[in-house]
Amino acid sequence: MGTKEYHKEKSREHHLENKEEYLERGRVKRANPDWNSRKRNYREANKIWLFEHFGGECNHCKGKFSHHAFEFHHTHPDKKNLNLSKITGHYHKLESFKERIKDEIPLVIMLCSNCHRIEHCEHQSEFNILKREIENSKGRRWLE
């Protein structure tokens, strides 16, 4: 059995073993139509707090935009512990959110979407140049 099939089977077994719990979660969500809108409100409040914490402007171009236009860039990806964009909706209380991310804040900068794309594009270009130099010096090709 290959890895993909193994994980698919394990996932199926897990869902069968925990079927009642998953059904109950579905009942709770269906019984409370505001479930998703409340989660959206938590995410919004947490992101606004981050936006204000970082000064409300892009770290590179110093542009001031709506908080929706900003993303968080890890300056040291090797030290990354959390994906701030993903966990903003997981904490219902701002204080618990702040506590969870306090170690991550020094590792990130806030960039507008455009500058964030440029930042990643530049890193990819540098990587490709380095990769070609190594290929040429060793006389062998990298596996793509």
Whether 67 and 128 map to the same domain: the answer is yes
Whether 87 and 97 map to the same domain: the answer is yes
CB atoms within 10 A of CB 84: 22
Give the pLDDT confidence score for residue 21 in this predicted structure: 81
Whether 49 and 92 map to the same domain: the answer is yes
Bridge-partner residues for 71, per DSSP?
111
Whether 45 and 20 map to the same domain: the answer is no
Tokens read off for 11: 């996932």
Q: The tokens 């869902």 sit on which residue?
A: 15
**Residue 46 belongs to a domain:** yes
For all residues of the chain together, what is the average pLDDT?
79
**Residue 143 belongs to a domain:** no
Whether 71 and 3 map to the same domain: the answer is no
Give the pLDDT confidence score for residue 142 in this predicted structure: 46
Whether 28 and 82 map to the same domain: the answer is no
What range defines the domain where residue 75 resides?
33-138
CB atoms within 10 A of CB 56: 14
**Residue 70 belongs to a domain:** yes
Whether 27 and 37 map to the same domain: the answer is no
pLDDT in tens, 108-119: 999 999 888 888
**Residue 57 belongs to a domain:** yes
| 111 and 119 Cβ atoms separated by less than 8 Å | yes
**HSE value, Cβ hemisphere, 13 Å, CA-based, for 126:** 6
Q: Tally the domains of the chain.
A: 2
How far is 47 from 89, CA to CA, in rounded Å? 9
- Could you say which DSSP state residue 81 is in? -
CA-based nearest residue to 70, from 49, 89, 93 = 49
**Residue 144 belongs to a domain:** no
How far is 27 from 20, CA to CA, in rounded Å? 10
| 117 and 69 Cβ atoms separated by less than 8 Å | no
Whether 41 and 18 map to the same domain: the answer is no
**Residue 45 belongs to a domain:** yes
Q: Is the pLDDT of residue 35 over 90?
A: no
- Average pLDDT for 24-49: 74
pLDDT in tens, 79-91: 888 888 777 777 6
Top pLDDT among 96 and 73 is at 73
